[in-house]
Amino acid sequence: MSVTQLLGGNSTSGITAKPKGRERYAFDRNYVPILYRTLGLSVLLFVVWDKSPNPWFIVPCASQLLHQRKMEKPWLSLMLISILCCLALCKGIESPEFAVIHAESDFEVRLYPESTWMTASVRDISFEKSTWNGFHRLFQYIQGANLNFSRISMTAPVLTSIVPGAGPLHSSAYFVRFYLPVKFQATPPLPLPELHLKPDKWAVNCIAVRKFSGYARDDNIVKEAEKLAISLSRSPWANFTTSESNYAYSIAQYSSPFQIFGRINEIWVDVKNSGLEGCESGSVSTY
């Protein structure tokens, strides 16, 4: 056998010569209808996304639709869902306003004005299960399960407050809270009785905050709360964390559960408003 045959010069050899020139960059025409379908579906979902009061929940719907349609190329499905997740970062979600009155490298103290939240109480031994259970009821509420049949836009964060020792076998109980948009702050729609929700009015209050990334889990929220406690103990705010609150701390989650990268979570701890600079005297937190 010649060297040419060994290098693929013969069509019957096991080695094929590399394409030359334009042949190397030739486009497979079979991708054209797939790309058109992906583009069309992207435009449709973008329009629905832009008009939807709760756009995050289009992501699982899109995933299910792609599965039912049996999209030939799985990477195109992943690309479309990734585009939707990126759009969520561009679509503004309303959050409570605050002013930062003290900041250090690993925590800050914020002053929050009066606000109204809708609250779901949950008795469970798991933070994750309690948050899911409470938010499921809150989601029904904002989708129209209220006496006004009002659809309410999604806001951030979803806040889970921990009540130590109030759950089964002296475990923790939880309050899962949804921040009401400005248009519903004064007169929130009353939830349907079977949801067991209630509006919660907060006074002006100061909160110490520590940010952390990733998913908030049962096995990492306590560690993050301990880090905030250590930071506060070494700061001028060491003696100002409040014991008047019924809650040990709260976990604020700003990101959709479908967002994998760039997730934002926070640990919140009450700060006593006792004449501190920026925290007016007598404005004790009500949550």
115 and 215 Cβ atoms separated by less than 8 Å: no
Secondary structure letter of residue 281 according to DSSP: T
Whether 281 has a pLDDT exceeding 50, the answer reads no
Cα 59 to Cα 237: distance, rounded to the nearest angstrom = 42
222 and 198 Cβ atoms separated by less than 8 Å: no
Mean pLDDT of 35-63: 55
- Cα dihedral 212→97→258→160 (10° resolution): 70
In the chain, the N- to C-terminal Cα span, in Å, equals: 85
Cα 131 to Cα 214: distance, rounded to the nearest angstrom = 16
Whether 4 has a pLDDT exceeding 50, the answer reads no
Whether 259 has a pLDDT exceeding 80, the answer reads yes
Q: In the predicted model, what is the mean pLDDT of the chain?
A: 76
pLDDT tens sequence across 139-158: 999 999 999 999 999 999 99
Name the pLDDT band for 65 (thresholds 50, 70, 90): low
**What integer pLDDT is reported at residue 272 of this predicted model?**
76
Name the pLDDT band for 168 (thresholds 50, 70, 90): low
Q: Find which of 67-71, 81-85, 256-260 is predicted with most confidence, using mean pLDDT.
A: 256-260
Q: Which phi and psi (to 5°) does residue 209 adopt? A: -130, 135
The type of residue at 2 is: S
Mean pLDDT of 213-235: 94
**What integer pLDDT is reported at residue 6 of this predicted model?**
42
Name the maximum alpha-carbon separation found in the chain: 96
| In the chain, beta strands by DSSP E | 99-103, 108-112, 115-123, 158-163, 173-179, 197-202, 205-212, 249-253, 265-271
Write down the pTM of the prediction.
0.68
**What integer pLDDT is reported at residue 161 of this predicted model?**
94
273 and 206 Cβ atoms separated by less than 8 Å: yes
**What integer pLDDT is reported at residue 257 of this predicted model?**
84
Mean pLDDT of 4-32: 50
142 and 154 Cβ atoms separated by less than 8 Å: yes
Residues in Cβ contact with 94 at an 8 Å cutoff, skipping those fewer than 6 apart: 153, 155, 156, 179, 181, 182
Cα 108 to Cα 104: distance, rounded to the nearest angstrom = 6
Name the pLDDT band for 60 (thresholds 50, 70, 90): low
Secondary structure letter of residue 178 according to DSSP: E
182 and 93 Cβ atoms separated by less than 8 Å: no
Which residues are paired to 161 by β-bridges?
A: 175, 250
